[in-house]
Structure 1
């Protein structure tokens, strides 16, 4: 039976059975943001919509969820440089100019190696370095600071076109379909997005469309409970398209601002699961010809060039319109952002700079580049 999770109105408390289950655990090696305790929530059935069979007339099942323990306040949010300066990419750039304060071809050769190793891409790395080499030979740079300033500007130019924040606007509901392979942080990203939109005062609904992986539904319910955001779900192995279709019906009926749908994490080589994504998109269009309004692909920043082949396949099947690049705070491969921008030009909506609920940041090209370069050239 389909379940819709929502908070009970203030002042009411459902009867708590003696054997109530503990809060579901979160797998996937991903942290769940801590928030204050939430009130019990109840499962209800959404109304059937056009073209769908009515929901079976079963009694409403009340399933109280134990209150989450009170959590300490989140620490002060760290800046971009603080998050990125410890990455292998940033450390490599910083140490380079300490070891090679003199402007020469050896410095530029090593710079090219660092860029390629960080998965900026061979074409982009070569183009950047050869441009700097030509300018150096023309004596345009008085010192290493001047060369770094030129490098900074060149990196910014390559990211400026993909700095496009996601605007959910006034559409009711704005449907975000999230895709990506297992392990990239997709479900955690959904939880953080739900927290962000809820904090902006928007009504948010989550759809547990990842019915393929064990515990994925419970993981999303945990995020929903801790962020006080309702979740539409069915059991494991249920039809994912049906779950998300019903979630859109419910969101339309309730005037929800944002519907965020999870999907099964899959390898781009898994044909059957990839076809399921196409089915989900087609089913949504039966209710809203323009849905999904954003197909958000979550990419692990540590996967490097493999992310490019993943995106090529997902874009062909479901038409990716925006990216989230996670785990950029501790990888030597953060240069993949530049490779993605060069090949696809898709907007980078958000980047993950940590495990906290507020560490999913709207992508800012200047802050990102300055976080990678030595402090003397970046913004404080």
Structure 2
């Protein structure tokens, strides 16, 4: 089956045609904004470790809940009517293991490596800027570096370090803003990629023992699908990041004009968090339609995989009878859908073969007519 073109614009058209109300996302959006701001505030105090704990054990699970909630609502299911349902979704993030798509040891190592490399590049860029455009400061820095070689006492070393920091003070604010943007770009990348992986684990039935890597290698491993997915995800990341830059950096300079003595970084970060909170339901809903657009042509393959996995689940002798009956019902539905789609696919192939044969028989006739 030929794949339909999957681009950012084609997915966005599907997103726009959906008639789902965004009011149902308000509670989770406010929860995400509140905990995110608490985390940012704690990071500016001596309780930054508590902020890191909130990030890992509250904010990341909220993103997973947001994704699972979007899968329910956009699939046509009714919205939860009480707080207990939201709490059950939160607990399910640990039971299902889907939290690892947002936060895992591999993700942490990747993020730390990214931060190290990106900040190193940012420092080099700042030094090159000073070298080419601020010669006076560069010469002063060079003289201080030479003085470091002759330092013999800790007090003299501290004095030179203080002088060095004083020289770089005009570049301190841009440096903080750049470091914050670097960190936020990495987090946006992790969330956008993680949301798609969560959908992949939700919509393809599989055994609890089946590793996610098997799902990804089975359905996303071909070059064409990976290229389409990366292009659309890159566009989504850049759009969200551009909006964050606009409101975070723009908010900082605006607040600096209004009240230069205020808590500028904290207030501008609030602007950025409000932007991310508004973007989060857009990201989860957009990725929902991105997933279905990419997987539409793989539906027969997905059903074949799901049928095999469901049959293996039913073979488990320790499975409760009620659960076994429910899974058996799902299996029958998938088998019926697979039979119907296979018949349509076979019929389409027959039609395509007939059209090709007809075109081949017409071609010699055209050559004979042209010779006559």
Give the TM bin, normalised by the shorter chain.
under 0.3
Higher strand content, 1 or 2: 1
With normalisation by structure 1, the TM-score equals: 0.20
With normalisation by structure 2, the TM-score equals: 0.20
Higher helix content, 1 or 2: 2
Larger radius of gyration: 2
